[in-house]
Chain A
Amino acid sequence: MSPRGQVVGIDSPEALERALRSAFYLADDGLSTAAYLALALGKPLLLEGAPGVGKTEAAKAIAGVLARRLIRLQCYEGIDASTALYEWNYPRQMLAIRQAGDQPVDIYKDEFLIERPMLAALRAPEEAVLLIDEIDRSDHEFEAFLLEFLSDFQISIPERGTLRAHERPVVILTSNRTRELHEALRRRCVYHWIDYPTPDREARIVMMRASSVAEHTARAVVAAVGRLRREPLTKPPGVAEAVDWAEAATLLHQRGARWPDAFKRAIGVALKDEEDLTYMSGRLDQILAEAAA
């Protein structure tokens, strides 16, 4: 199992950044460098950031650029090997035994093996990108188990022996940082902290994602969203909310609502928490007026 070496056509962070842009993802220098290094060094890429900054989107875009299938493993508290790795199809094994009657039957053949995301990525590393999403939600036992997988890229199935990837699969991990990850996990990965994009970049993201949105709408939304993120909200609006807000405001405006009014009425797609709305209610008008100006 050799390091990946160069991925065809992508020989620098800039080339990756251009490729990502053509997959409708605007990456900053830090992200494109980290992603390029992860691909070139054959290491997993660990993306951390607040919810809604586009971590999962980045993984989808990278899979798109590499023209590979994205295998997603969503983590949750209590996730275990049978949901992440493999499971035997016991009912089918049972049927096979019944059908075989007196004949001997091998019930550990491939057809009885249910591939879970990690095994699937291991068996077809050249055509898949494994996304291990929201790793911070899983238990630390699962994190420790991941360490083993990520360092050797092998899985032991007692009935079958050890399976090993013939090349290193592309693995992307994301975390919302609701808890700190083990140092050992961060150590094995190439790390990038995704921050909220700069207003300028975010306006371009909004326009790229929602083509119907006019530039001044995008800028107003981004200014308002940036202002809201500085408030101590329980759910600060992410990039996706900014896109939704711009789209919603544009839609209302097209249906005849006057501009600042449409902007304000669409707030529900950006602030989705009753407490946040109450907290902001007093100053919201002023913030929106400033942003729309």
Chain B
Amino acid sequence: MSVLPRAAQPFVTFPALLRANGFAVAPEQTATFLEAVGLLGPRSIADIRRAAHATLAPPPDRRAAFDALFGVHFLGEMEEGEALGEPDDETVRVQEERAGGAEPLVSDEVNEAGKDATAVEALSVRRFGPASDHEVLRRFARAAPAHLPRRPGYRRMRARRGEYFDTRRTLREAVRNDGDVMTLRRLKRRLRQRRILLLIDVSGSMKERTEQHLRIAHALAHAVERIEVFTFGTRLTRVTRAMRLKNRDMALAATSSIVSDWDGGTRIGEALQAFLSVPRFAGYSRGAVVLILSDGLERGDPAAMREAVTRLSRLAWRVSWLTPLAADPNFTPQTEGLKAILPLVDDLADGSSVAAVCAHVLALESKRAA
């Protein structure tokens, strides 16, 4: 930093400010940004703004937030003039304005929750009773590998009957036979299982179902190759590793010690946004089967929920919202949150029993074909 000329400082600190506000900016983008600004002159603030848009690549739906930060960072400084040397003050101020002291929603396995827990959260550890629906889960685990949604992979594999000719192998064999083709070899595309992403609502309104849902998650985690499991209520917790434990009681015990927001309030929108704002997590939903086990009773802002589900549906192969309320055949969504997301999800289905959820998961592949 010290080797940079003073005038270049704001351009280097701007990406840092963006990062602090949840934009993904790589160091090489900062370098490109500097280079671009140099190339353009810059003759005006508009040049800098356009260079920032082109090189720092804010997602279109967050363009307004990006422009606001840009305004504060560059235009605010220009008015004050002298403040150029201390861009760090600026950064902190914006963070305070933007983040507003809200506690971080994300935690990965280790949850340092306690210190910034709010009063509304009921932090507790829950014990799980003996197994029920045992037989359903066992059958599900057996049926799952054959019936889960698959996608054609990038690689091809040898096959007796396939849609592609393996001209390469055929030629190799022909070379061995002085140029005579004895058999025409074939290839087909390898099928890969789509990743399954389970988002489990552990808030107070889902209290009776949570245990069942975690059992389903455990059965799935051992029946399929690729799966990620998260719980959400007032915060978001990744529990995939706990779910990997083979013994179910141990897995559930491990989960219950990691998750700290059992039976609290529900902020679905914010929890999903937190999920999407971590690139590593958001990547799990790419092309995946997303199953959200929740009643959709949102205490926060339905607009946030809507926006998060929109983004999720763009990333995912299929988004299913499984709600216990849908067990009633005459069910129509009543809450504002559910109505808002209805056009965005692919299925709104029954999530009232283990059997219903299992049946839905297994039917996904054929539904897509229909």
Cα A38 to Cα B53 in complex, Å, equals: 13
Over the window 38-49 of chain A, the binary record of Cβ atoms lying under 8 Å from chain B Cβ atoms (1 yes, 0 no) is 101101001010
Over the window 88-99 of chain A, the binary record of Cβ atoms lying under 8 Å from chain B Cβ atoms (1 yes, 0 no) is 101101100110
Residues of chain A lying within 8 A (CB to CB) of residue B35 = 41
A29 within 8 A of B: yes
Tell me which of B71-79, B167-175, B289-297 binds A. Answer: B167-175
Of residues 19 to 36 in B, which have CB atoms within 8 Å of A's CB atoms?
24, 26, 28-29, 32, 35-36
Please count how many residues in chain A sit with their CB below 8 Å of the partner chain's CB atoms. 41
B68 within 8 A of A: no
B60 within 8 A of A: yes
Contact B154 A41 (CB under 8 A): no
Cα A43 to Cα B33 in complex, Å, equals: 12
Residues of chain B lying within 8 A (CB to CB) of residue A179 = 286-287, 314-315
Given the interface pairs A37-B36, A41-B32, A183-B279, the reply to whether A192 lies near B314 with Cβ below 8 Å is no
Cα A145 to Cα B57 in complex, Å, equals: 21
Of residues 174 to 224 in A, which have CB atoms within 8 Å of B's CB atoms?
177-180, 183, 186-187, 189-193
A268 within 8 A of B: no
Residues of chain B lying within 8 A (CB to CB) of residue A41 = 32, 35-36, 39
Contact B60 A90 (CB under 8 A): no
Given the interface pairs A90-B167, A187-B26, the reply to whether A97 lies near B55 with Cβ below 8 Å is no
Residues of chain A lying within 8 A (CB to CB) of residue B170 = 90
Shortest CB–CB separation between residue A193 and chain B, in angstroms? Answer: 5
B181 within 8 A of A: yes
The contact size tier of chain B is 35 or more
Of residues 93 to 138 in A, which have CB atoms within 8 Å of B's CB atoms?
93-94, 97-98, 107
Cα A37 to Cα B53 in complex, Å, equals: 11
Given the interface pairs A30-B53, A193-B63, the reply to whether A97 lies near B279 with Cβ below 8 Å is no
Which residue on chain B has the smallest CB distance to residue A79? Answer: B154
The count of A-to-B residue pairs whose CB atoms sit within 8 angstroms is 99
Residues of chain A lying within 8 A (CB to CB) of residue B171 = 88, 90, 93-94, 107
Over the window 157-172 of chain B, the binary record of Cβ atoms lying under 8 Å from chain A Cβ atoms (1 yes, 0 no) is 0000000000110110
Contact B53 A40 (CB under 8 A): no
B50 within 8 A of A: yes
Partner of B40, one of A13, A80, A142, A193: A13
Over the window 173-217 of chain B, the binary record of Cβ atoms lying under 8 Å from chain A Cβ atoms (1 yes, 0 no) is 011001101000000010000000000000000000000000000
Shortest CB–CB separation between residue B368 and chain A, in angstroms? Answer: 13
B322 within 8 A of A: no
Contact B51 A97 (CB under 8 A): no
Residues of chain A lying within 8 A (CB to CB) of residue B153 = 141
Of residues 61 to 100 in B, which have CB atoms within 8 Å of A's CB atoms?
63
Contact B51 A37 (CB under 8 A): yes
Residues of chain B lying within 8 A (CB to CB) of residue A187 = 24, 26, 28-29, 57
Contact A140 B168 (CB under 8 A): no
Residues of chain B lying within 8 A (CB to CB) of residue A90 = 167-168, 170-171
A34 within 8 A of B: yes
Given the interface pairs A33-B51, A193-B60, the reply to whether A97 lies near B179 with Cβ below 8 Å is yes
B46 within 8 A of A: yes
B347 within 8 A of A: no
Given the interface pairs A41-B39, A78-B189, A183-B24, the reply to whether A94 lies near B179 with Cβ below 8 Å is yes
Cα A33 to Cα B154 in complex, Å, equals: 36
Shortest CB–CB separation between residue B335 and chain A, in angstroms? Answer: 21
The 9 closest A-B pairs by CB, nearest first: A191-B57, A141-B154, A90-B167, A34-B54, A97-B179, A33-B50, A193-B60, A186-B57, A98-B179
Interface residues of A (CB under 8 A from B): 12-13, 29-30, 33-34, 36-38, 40-41, 43, 46, 48, 78, 80, 88, 90-91, 93-94, 97-98, 107, 139-142, 145, 177-180, 183, 186-187, 189-193
15 contacts between A and B (CB under 8 A): A13-B40, A13-B50, A30-B50, A34-B53, A37-B51, A37-B55, A88-B167, A90-B170, A98-B179, A141-B154, A180-B311, A183-B26, A187-B24, A190-B55, A192-B53
